Amino acid sequence: MKPINVGLLGIGTVGGGTWDVLSRNADEIQRRAGRAIRISLVADKDVARAKKIVKGKAKVISDGAALVRSPEIEIVVELIGGTTIAKELVLEAIRHGKHVVTANKALLATHGNEIFAAAQKKGVMVAFEASVAGGVPIIKALREGLAANRIEWIAGIINGTSNFILSEMRDKGIAFEQALQDAQSRGYAEADPTFDIEGHDTAQKLAILASLAFGIKVDQSAVYVEGISSIASEDLEWADELGYRVKLLGVAVRTDIGIEQRVHPTMVPKDTAIAQVMGVTNAVTVDADAITPITLVGPGAGGMATASSVVSDIGDIARGVRTAPFGRPTGRLTVSKKAPMQRHEGGYYIRLLAVDKPGTAATIAKRLAQQNISLESIVQRHRGERPHGGDVPGRSSEPVPVILITYATTEDAVRKALAAVDRDKVVLGKPQVIRIEKN
Amino acid sequence: MKPINVGLLGIGTVGGGTWDVLSRNADEIQRRAGRAIRISLVADKDVARAKKIVKGKAKVISDGAALVRSPEIEIVVELIGGTTIAKELVLEAIRHGKHVVTANKALLATHGNEIFAAAQKKGVMVAFEASVAGGVPIIKALREGLAANRIEWIAGIINGTSNFILSEMRDKGIAFEQALQDAQSRGYAEADPTFDIEGHDTAQKLAILASLAFGIKVDQSAVYVEGISSIASEDLEWADELGYRVKLLGVAVRTDIGIEQRVHPTMVPKDTAIAQVMGVTNAVTVDADAITPITLVGPGAGGMATASSVVSDIGDIARGVRTAPFGRPTGRLTVSKKAPMQRHEGGYYIRLLAVDKPGTAATIAKRLAQQNISLESIVQRHRGERPHGGDVPGRSSEPVPVILITYATTEDAVRKALAAVDRDKVVLGKPQVIRIEKN
């Protein structure tokens, strides 16, 4: 069979990785795909740099629009990022009957429905394994491997930057700001880290996973988002003491009132597979009706790892695989019925700084009881202090941390109870609230 | 598109699960596959039981040979197990142009090459996701998701019985025999557990994984096998103290002299993903040139979990996916150049029972040095005893455990050194040797 010609839009880190993987493992990939895969055209603004990489083995141009219209190209690999030019070029490629492989989560989270509808109309593939969790084949697992299942719950550590920061804070007992600086100095965080640490990157990826898992249209705006910048070292220490680890999770879950999609710092039991995932590693756990949870763990970023997923997608297309991008025809995707966050049900970790005067604990307990919140545990002491440590000089004047772990309750009840506690003026500052995920 | 007709050979645990999953999630599966999937014919020796399960919704016969020849059937699902009748029926199904889905690892480990060659000749699919690690989509990940990679190393906990026993021994500090009894009473181990605990089940699955990972013909006889029945509680305690967990691993690795395939109790560092996997859960870790290790964790057995993989395979075939069973044409599979176990390189844990007389440690150290074995650590004491615990009455008359952790060396060197130590008559009984896997 004749080689399949691939056009590469952008030859930066992932594009360069794709070039390398395809060159290095060419024989192997050809054997698996049944035909040779050849990058015959590269479009990059920096033509000189691109030429240095391809060393005369592919034509290099600066005009992406010319690439997506080139008659010889069968597959367009979009690695330029962003949502403006990338969108135009991808739609133009589809109009010209090209299959598309992309690593662009922002593009799919924002314009996925439009792009997939266009692709379906033209009968071409849009493949995007690389858009979520880098080298981990989670898209394929959801779309095909677990296709027999009614998925109930999916949760992922899908932002390496945040997981690195939380891991460093825990392992070294350092503050958020210092861990962020460490991440920046290692190249794991951007100069402006907002997108990663405030959960927006996770939200985009979650919207894609949720669409696949539940057969709903991609809708980033349906995702509740909370980042990790408010997490203190002491939260991680308390978590440890109470048997948990804190992770920035993207969670999508089927509830009676719709699909709940949320991104927030989460306490997960220490003995779960996801709790063990440290550093920049990614992991996704899927729970479904027919199975106990399945977890995929692996590299979430990096040029070669992401390229591995890009090339896997190219291989599928070369082998003739044709699947609907979200595992079913776009017309069959339902609009997500958004389960509002106030209705979220689960356990909560609450850390309050209580003024140390008689009746404080009773007041807090009363406010929780009024919202029908039951407590699994309550700890009122400085960390490491013995429960009955005797009199400590000056202790009565200092505020004392109070840690509450609730049984399953609702977001709404927790918010109301804490508002009442605030009005009672028995706590100082803003309460820290971290949701617990038991799966 | 018209429904695709499936014939089910055997409706026991996995067959019943397949029936349930297909009925329960019919709409969802149809959306994903693009057409309805219907089990229209079931062959089972116990016709009465089978009829109770299908409740008139499929024809039930007792003759498997009639099923595989039935013109209406497009996909034959083989769930009868064994390697005799199953082989005949599968080959007959292929001769009649049927696609085959099977969960039968023994069949593939024994006759896989013959079956795949026949299938290729006829242009039909043989899919076998359910044959390894139950509901975990590891076959698809290896064949397609990681198709871009040159795989270097693959290791798996792929026998739930053994992992359950080792987990119980560790968690409860009980002996192998008691943990085995527990496993039997819970239905996790057979009355005759040999096949599971002596590593043969793992070896069959490893031969399948290795074929996919390295493009070699399936060859169960190339697998070195050692089971877990010699593992003592104290080995697990020492492992814990030294930062390891003991797992029965199937490992296949690319070496300079060929593909090494081995099954044996293995010490893995506590902080690896695979070390965390407890109970009957399965896990497979893959390391390749373009990625940091990827681990898949999930249910390794159970009717529904295994059925989930069977139905995923059926769905792939219904969608029109046609892949070579081992990711490439059978003619392109190379014969495994078997790397002999004596040439295995790695670290070792060695537990000796040394006679407590002057010069014993020196003798042992000399024998290791003669084989150029370097020690990472050596501990000579009863566990829990302080290194300088002072005189203990009667201590000098008792043999003392000596624990050695070696740096990377060879199997051959270890065997020779231990033979020499044995001749020196400074140890009692048989040394315990557990290989260390650092990945």
Q: How do residues B167-219 score in pLDDT, each as one tens digit?
A: 999 999 999 999 999 999 999 999 999 999 999 999 999 999 999 999 899 99
Indicate if the pLDDT at residue A394 is higher than 60: no
pLDDT in tens, B278-295: 999 999 999 998 788 999
Respond yes or no: is residue A205 known to be catalytic: yes
pLDDT at B321: 79
pLDDT: which is higher, A439 or B25: B25
Catalytic residue among B105, B205, B217, B247: B205
Closest-CA residue of A relative to B311 is: A148
CB pairs under 8 A between A and B: 200
pLDDT at B386 over 70: no
- Are residues A296 and B294, on separate chains, in Cβ contact within 8 Å? yes
pLDDT at B363: 92
pLDDT of residue B91: 98
The rounded mean pLDDT for chain B is 92
Topology given in CATH for the domain delimited by B4-131: Rossmann fold (3.40.50)
Provide the CATH number for the domain formed by A146-299 in this structure.
Answer: 3.30.360.10
pLDDT tier at A359, thresholds 50, 70, 90: confident
Kindly state the percentage of chain B with pLDDT values over 70.
96
pTM to 2 decimal places: 0.91
Question: Quick one: closest CA in B to A294, which residue?
Answer: B298
Contact criterion met (CB < 8 Å) for B305 and A316: no
CATH architecture, domain A343-436: 2-Layer Sandwich (3.30)
pLDDT band at B250 (very low <50, low <70, confident <90, very high): very high
Residue B396: pLDDT band by 50, 70, 90 thresholds?
low
Chain B CB contacts of A25 under 8 Å are 148-150, 289-290
Q: Model confidence over A5-55: pLDDT tens digits?
A: 999 999 999 999 999 999 988 888 888 888 899 999 999 999 999 999 999
Residues A314-334: tens digit of each pLDDT: 999 998 877 777 777 777 777
Res A396 pLDDT > 70: no
Domains A4-131 and A146-299 in one fold: no
So what's the pLDDT on residue A383? 57
Highest mean pLDDT: which of B64-68, B316-320, B352-356? B64-68
Task: Map out the domains of chain A as residue ranges.
Answer: 4-131, 146-299, 343-436
Say whether the ipTM exceeds 0.90. Answer: no
Lowest mean pLDDT among A365-374, B175-184, B387-396: B387-396
What's the pLDDT score for residue A205? Answer: 98
| Interchain CB distance below 8 Å, B146 and A137 | yes
Average pLDDT over residues B301-320: 92
Each residue of B144-172: pLDDT tens digit? 888 888 999 999 999 999 999 999 999 99
| pLDDT tier at B322, thresholds 50, 70, 90 | confident
Please report the pLDDT score of residue A118 as a whole number: 96
Q: Which of B143, B277, B305 is nearest residue A292 as measured by Cβ atoms? A: B305
Of A150, A293, A296, the CB nearest to B25: A150
CA distance A209 to chain B (A): 15
Query: Among A258-272, A373-387, B245-259, B279-293, where is mean pLDDT lowest?
Result: A373-387
Residue B391 has pLDDT above 60, yes or no: no
Of A322 and B127, which is predicted with more confidence?
B127
Q: Which of A146, A215, A305 sits opposite B137 (nearest CB)?
A: A146
In the set A205, A247, A357, A366, the catalytic residue is A205
pLDDT value at A393 more than 60: no
Instruction: Place A386 in a pLDDT band, splitting at 50, 70 and 90.
Output: low
Q: In the prediction, which pLDDT does B387 show?
A: 52
Give pLDDT, residue A382.
64
Residues of A in contact with B215 (CB under 8 A): 28, 31
What is the SS3 assignment for chain B?
Answer: CCCEEEEEECCCHHHHHHHHHHHHCHHHHHHHHCCCEEEEEEECCCHHHHHHHHCCCCEEECCHHHHHHCCCCCEEEECCCCCCHHHHHHHHHHHCCCEEEECCHHHHHHHHHHHHHHHHHHCCCEECHHHCCCCCCHHHHHHHHCCCCCEEEEEEECCHHHHHHHHHHHHHCCCHHHHHHHHHHCCCCCCCCHHHHCCHHHHHHHHHHHHHHHCECCCHHHEEECCCCCCCHHHHHHHHHHCEEEEEEEEEEEECCEEEEEEEEEEEECCCCHHHCCCCEEEEEEEECCEEEEEEEEECCCHHHHHHHHHHHHHHHHCCCCCCCCCCCHHHCECCCECCHHHCEEEEEEEEEECCCCCHHHHHHHHHHHCCCCEEEEEECCCCCCCCCCCCCCHHHCCEEEEEEECCEEHHHHHHHHHHHHHCCCEEEEEEEEEECCC
Percent of chain B with pLDDT over 90: 78
**Measuring CA to CA, which residue among B52, B2, B1, B4 is closest to residue B315?**
B4
Q: What is the tens place of the pLDDT at every residue in A170-217?
A: 999 999 999 999 999 999 999 999 999 999 999 999 999 999 999 899
Q: Please say if the pLDDT value at position B392 is more than 60.
A: no
Fold of B139-299: Dihydrodipicolinate Reductase; domain 2 (3.30.360)
How confident is the model at residue B192, as a pLDDT?
95
